[in-house]
Structure 1
Amino acid sequence: MKPSNETLVLVDRPRDRIARLTLNRPEKRNAMSNALRTQLFAALEAADRDPDIAVIVLRGAGSCFSAGYDLSSDVRDGQPWYSAGGIGNWPRHVVEGCFRIWDMAKPVIGQVHGYCLAGGTELAAACDLLYVADDAKIGYPVVRSISPPDNQFYPWLVGMRRAMEMMLTGDTISGIEAAASGFANRAVPGEELEALVLDMASRVAMVPPDVQQINKRAVHRQMEAMGIRAGIRAGTELQAMSAMTESARAFHASVQQGGLTAALSERDGRFGDYRTAGD
């Protein structure tokens, strides 16, 4: 895959010591191609190295945060860093990316509005803090046709019962439900979201970065002691196994035969949501 000449990630500094990254494919609901992901991780790492930046904000342009990975592209082509090939390459690659954010020195704050689906939820889950619009729609519809998540974070963030319900239905939760369940820190009306995120980012930026990186790691190390890193890595093997089922192969065949839109509409039509709900 050739490098994209498009600016797929916008970078600005809305306040002192804050870098803000905006996924910039609004016409595709910020579907994450490898070209976009390459620019995103380059921008994240540049901000993490910048001594003038103390905190990073991540959001999406247009109507939503992200509807997930770009299923119309070949995710094996042009990955932004090398991941070992073979069975399970993609889920391993995704998890490595989420842990790249996890392991950065600077705190990353997610700002979610509209759809936050599939790979979008994985990206949001990797952020250190997450603030959402109260009417956001957060979920992993891929469980209906292909597999559980590449990055199986749901049980860690929302608990077994809520995670089980989401995994067995592919239904979304609202921003309000996301905050109540622990997926997000807080939910507010959409018109208040940007101000909330920037105010929180400014508060986070008051703490010296050399101290803040240790504060961030202190929480992560406790999660690791409970097994989160090993558990999520083990989950990549289940994702790879599910992607080889007869049902998953049939779904991919339907995409090849009738196109992605038709395949997704057929998948979700029985549930009456996502694109079949008319939003």
Structure 2
Amino acid sequence: MAEHTIENDPAPVNGGPATADSALLVDDPLPKVRRLTLNRPEKRNALNDALRGALFDELRRADRDRGISAIVIRANGPAFCAGYDLGSPNHDVERHIAKQDGWWSRHVVNNWFEMWDMATPIIGQVHGYCLAGGTELAAACDLVYVAEDAKVGYPPVRLMSPPDMQWQPWLMGLRRGMEALLTGDAMSGVEAVASGMANRAFPAASLGDEVLAVAERVAKIPLELLTLNKRAAHRQMDAMGIRNGLRAGADIQALGFHQPPSIEYLQSFGEVGVSKALSERDRQFDDYRERRTDD
């Protein structure tokens, strides 16, 4: 997978100083467009506490800004997001919740609902690997544009649990969603579009420009109408039961951690390390980090 390094780091906007070490970079590339760049390239932008907290702080800041009509979420480095950071402690940094059994999945699903409920349209710009929690972040966006050679999948279903946010059957339909959940296999950006997970796929080299072109068109609509248009679409999904379905799925996800294979798998993190545990999980499938021939 080709590198996707941002040549010119965005200048800070309204927040604290954005340096090369910032977990999140913020800039306004066009009038009325706020862009948030995940910036943990050495970790493939895995979602740790610092990155998740910064992301939601800036999403809320942008949503309150009446001068912003579209928000773009993209990433620096070779991947959009490899998922939640399993190598560091994870806390309820976005929204506090009592840490009872199943707290994690209920908490992150609430976070993704918060993105849906924001007034401002959110556009996901996905390249490289988009895995596990990274697919949840993308699914929580209102529009999603992907590189043609992106790899989108949820490998934790193989040994850990069902997804926290079970977007697959909702966005892809029962058959394709079921296949994704039963295999953990990845799909390309082109396949993600065909499945309904993403809007359009573009060559990786032109993805950023194409996303900004869409954001520019969205921002031409008065913000008051954008808010209603976004809400109208989500209300239709609400009427079909998506919130009840995803919340019920979060409870089912919590059961996964009580199953013997999941308990053994999680124990292996401390015994052999997270990287080796992930490699052992995927070796028999010949994919992800264990793919013997990569295009």
Q: TM-score, normalised by structure 2?
A: 0.91
In structure 1, the residue matched to 2:223 is 209
In structure 2, the residue matched to 1:269 is 283
Distance 1:166 1:48, change over 3 A: same
CA distance in 2, matches of 1:29, 1:62: 7
In structure 2, the residue matched to 1:41 is 56
CA distance in 2, matches of 1:46, 1:126: 17
Find the partner of 1:28 among 26, 34, 43: 43
Find the partner of 2:150 among 136, 139, 149: 136
What letter is aligned with 2:244? A
CA distance in 2, matches of 1:219, 1:82: 28
In structure 2, the residue matched to 1:152 is 166
> How many residues were matched structurally?
274
Q: CA deviation at 1:85?
A: 2.0
CA distance in 1, matches of 2:138, 2:46: 14
Q: How much identity, in percent, do the aligned residues show?
A: 55
* Kept in 2: contact 1:154–1:163 (CA 8 A): yes
User: What are the residue-to-residue correspondences of 1:58-73 with 2, within 5 Å?
Assistant: 58-73=73-88
What letter is aligned with 1:124? A
Larger mean CA deviation between 269-278 and 57-66 belongs to 269-278
CA distance in 1, matches of 2:236, 2:286: 40
CA distance in 1, matches of 2:265, 2:204: 35
1:173 and 2:187 aligned: yes
CA distance in 2, matches of 1:259, 1:184: 33
Tell me the secondary structure at the aligned position of residue 11 of structure 1.
Answer: strand
In structure 1, the residue matched to 2:236 is 222
Aligned residues: CA RMSD: 1.1
* Kept in 2: contact 1:138–1:174 (CA 8 A): yes
Q: TM-score, normalised by structure 1?
A: 0.96
Unaligned runs of 5+ in 2: 1-18
User: What are the residue-to-residue correspondences of 1:46-61 with 2, within 5 Å?
Assistant: 46-61=61-76
CA distance in 1, matches of 2:108, 2:80: 18
Q: CA deviation at 1:78?
A: 5.2
CA distance in 1, matches of 2:98, 2:87: 23
CA distance in 1, matches of 2:92, 2:135: 22
CA distance in 1, matches of 2:244, 2:286: 36
Tell me the secondary structure at the aligned position of residue 93 of structure 2.
Answer: coil
